[in-house]
Amino acid sequence: MIKVLTAVALVAGLTSACSTGQMQIRSEEPTLEIDSLALLEGPRVAIELLVHNRNDHSLVLESLGLTMSLDQTRLFSSEWPMPLTIGARGRERITLEAPASRDGASRLSELAGELAGSLAYQLESRLVLQGQRDAKNRKSDFLHPVPGQPDRFR
């Protein structure tokens, strides 16, 4: 009888030790990268972004908020509804337009006149994802004029 109880306790202990509990899928936040930025009439800007889903499952982007500054001068701050599904390990290219501040547009115009110039930027993003917490990110880098393409930057 003691041998049977010991065997049952041993089997119960081994099976519970192998149990990992409820399986959870952890999601990586999508990344944003500026592909190009164009200064338009108005003043307005068109920003082309690459959105990368690094997960093994699809993500549904409900809205996107961006704030961009050039050397501490705000260029724009806008939010767009974004009913977009990004497939597993997928990339999407999106183009958005926003009103530009006069000071920010002036900074871009100055950069457009320089052949080898660059301008520091800061991009803050807020992605609202279906069924997940918001993904917030801040990126700093430099914009350069695109040769032969007036008012276009990378």
Q: Show me where the domains of the chain are located.
A: 25-153
Asked whether residue 129 carries a pLDDT value surpassing 70, the answer given is: yes
What does the pLDDT look like over 62-116, one tens digit per residue? 999 999 999 999 999 999 999 899 999 999 999 999 999 999 999 999 999 886 7
Q: What is the pLDDT of residue 10?
A: 58
Report the alpha-carbon distance of residue 132 to residue 134 in Å, rounded. Answer: 6
Q: What is the pLDDT of residue 113?
A: 85
Q: What is the pLDDT of residue 116?
A: 74
Task: Look up residue 3 and give its amino acid.
Answer: K
Q: 3-state class of 151 per DSSP?
A: coil
Closest by CA to 151, choosing from 75, 38, 41, 74, is 38
Q: What is the pLDDT of residue 137?
A: 94
Please give the residue that has the higher pLDDT: either 17 or 47.
Answer: 47
Report the alpha-carbon distance of residue 128 to residue 91 in Å, rounded. Answer: 17
Asked whether residue 16 carries a pLDDT value surpassing 90, the answer given is: no
Is 53 in contact with 59 (CB distance < 8 Å)? yes
Q: What is the pLDDT of residue 54?
A: 95
Report the alpha-carbon distance of residue 59 to residue 135 in Å, rounded. Answer: 12
Answering whether pTM is above 0.85, one says no
Report the alpha-carbon distance of residue 138 to residue 47 in Å, rounded. Answer: 16
Q: What is the pLDDT of residue 5?
A: 53
User: What's the CATH class of domain 25-153?
Assistant: mainly beta
Is 91 in contact with 31 (CB distance < 8 Å)? no
Closest by CA to 88, choosing from 41, 33, 30, is 30
